[in-house]
Amino acid sequence: MRGKQSFVVGIFVVLISSCASCSAKLSQSSNGFIYSIFNQDNSIVDVEEEPEIKPRQQMGIPVVINTWGFDAGNANAWNMLNRGGSALDAVEVGATTCEVLQCDNTVGFGGSPDENGETTLDAMIMDGERHAVGAVGCLRRVKNAVGVARKVLEHTSHTLLVGELATQFALSMGFPEENLTTPDSLEMHDSWERNNCQPNFWRNVNPDPTQSCGPYTPKTMTKDQSKTMVQVPPRVIDQWNHDTIGIVAIDSLGRVASATSSNGARNKIPGRVGDAPIVGAGSYVDKDIGGAAATGDGDIMVRFLPSLLAVEKMGMGLSPTEAAEEAIQKIARFYPTFSGALVAVNLRGEYGAACHGIATGFPYCVSPEAGSNGTIILHANCTSTSTSPANRVFPNPAAANPSLL
């Protein structure tokens, strides 16, 4: 809580300088910080000037920010913060909202079927106070992936559980086993099969994956051939194919937390885990700096830990926008045609975003806009817009669903 403490210490400097014989003590209770001003004989000073605590809005916190136009998730998280809830609970509520609403079919059940037609889920939650993470990858037959991630955080010393055995863990924690396939996701899978299993994520296999369905076997390659391996064309990333809600919140006590939830890449090879549950990639928080969350082509982005990078850059003094831009540019230097975006927020509640290769620009949600208490959708312009198709209109998603709270 260094940010919070320096704010508090700042108040003391003012008070102490007007009372040379006083000492100040700071203690932390479950409700936050308690200020006490003592004389040298330990009697409490009659403080005439009450420490002036800046209104929350002016301090920029609480604040919550998320990737894409998922304003219902952001609003539910904001409502929780605004009622004094913790950042950790807020990000869980925000991500759960998207799992329930199946935001853009990229979060939750019934979206992004893998090659077998199954939907599997990735999620993580990170608590800045403890610098602790719970995450699940390739979770099967359980809808509330971020809820399971929270159980990993709270009830184990592990960080990441995966696959069928993560499902068994979830059931033991009381989550219901459910069918994640819907008529919609069945149709996505069927139409992909009718289209000769295009597009897919295979390369250097037989039969030619750009023409045929599997099963595939590895193509034996000479050394020269392997240098010029077929590169899969970059994935088209847009509102309906981008993997993730990433959400970062700072509560009124200055605590920071983040969460992600995703059903991954459509037509992924079964077993694929993306960037969403990987700490530093899908999201990252540092209690002394702030947090960041990523979305986009997870298979590329996970190689750069862009959320970690953005947070570290903020720690070095960059603004959230500059930090996000630098992390995105780092990826673009290696993969000029990748598509992805980052949101970042620091402990002062300043926020920003950056994106690359999304023709429509990158919408993201923030609550509150300074001077108001609603959720707004902002758009970041991307550094390259070459890889995405025609303009798309972003509909205004459903209003916050209070029944989730």
Please give the positions annotated as active site.
Answer: 244
User: Shortest gap between Cβ of 380 and ligand NAG (angstroms)?
Assistant: 6
User: Shortest gap between Cβ of 188 and ligand NAG (angstroms)?
Assistant: 12
User: Shortest gap between Cβ of 129 and ligand NAG (angstroms)?
Assistant: 27
User: Shortest gap between Cβ of 321 and ligand NAG (angstroms)?
Assistant: 8
Q: Which is nearer to ligand NAG, 34 or 186 (CB)?
A: 186
User: Shortest gap between Cβ of 117 and ligand NAG (angstroms)?
Assistant: 9
Contact 241, 235 (CB under 8 A): yes
Q: Does 58 bind ligand NAG (CB under 6 A)?
A: no
The site string for ligand NAG over 176-195 (x = CB under 6 A, - otherwise) reads ---x-xxx--x---------
The site string for ligand NAG over 68-87 (x = CB under 6 A, - otherwise) reads --------------------
Contact 346, 367 (CB under 8 A): no
Residue type, 187: E
Q: Which is nearer to ligand NAG, 117 or 207 (CB)?
A: 117
- CA dist 114 → 100, 192, 309, 338, 386 (Å): 20, 10, 30, 21, 27
Q: Which is nearer to ligand NAG, 209 or 368 (CB)?
A: 368
Count of chain residues binding ligand NAG (CB under 6 A): 9
Q: Given the rule CB under 6 A, which of 41-49, 224-232, 294-302, 372-380 is the region that contacts ligand NAG? A: 372-380
Q: Which is nearer to ligand NAG, 183 or 402 (CB)?
A: 183
Contact 252, 260 (CB under 8 A): no
Please indicate if the annotation marks 273 as binding a ligand: yes
Please indicate if the annotation marks 297 as binding a ligand: yes
User: Shortest gap between Cβ of 41 and ligand NAG (angstroms)?
Assistant: 43
- Binds ligand NAG (CB under 6 A): choice among 156, 206, 226, 373: 373
Q: Given the rule CB under 6 A, which of 129-137, 174-182, 191-199, 274-282 is the region that contacts ligand NAG? A: 174-182
Q: How far apart are CA 97 and CA 104, in angstroms?
A: 12
Token pair, residue 274, equals: 């993306």
Please indicate if the annotation marks 190 as binding a ligand: no
Q: Which is nearer to ligand NAG, 156 or 372 (CB)?
A: 372
Residue type, 218: P
Q: How far apart are CA 173 and CA 163, in angstroms?
A: 16
Q: Which is nearer to ligand NAG, 249 or 354 (CB)?
A: 354
Please indicate if the annotation marks 122 as binding a ligand: no
User: Shortest gap between Cβ of 353 and ligand NAG (angstroms)?
Assistant: 8
Considering only the C-alpha atoms of the chain, give the largest distance between any 2 of them, rounded to a whole number of Å.
Answer: 85
Please indicate if the annotation marks 296 as binding a ligand: yes
Q: Which is nearer to ligand NAG, 329 or 372 (CB)?
A: 372
Please enumerate in sequence order all residues whose Cβ is within 8 A of that of 77, keeping only pairs 6 or more positions apart, or say none: 64, 66, 90, 91, 93, 94, 97, 247, 249, 367
Please indicate if the annotation marks 117 as binding a ligand: no
The site string for ligand NAG over 376-405 (x = CB under 6 A, - otherwise) reads ----xx------------------------
Q: Given the rule CB under 6 A, which of 149-157, 230-238, 329-337, 373-381 is the region that contacts ligand NAG? A: 373-381
Q: Binding residues for ligand NAG, per CB under 6 A?
A: 179, 181-183, 186, 372-373, 380-381
Residue set of the binding site for substrate: 272-275, 295-298
Residue set of the binding site: 272-275, 295-298
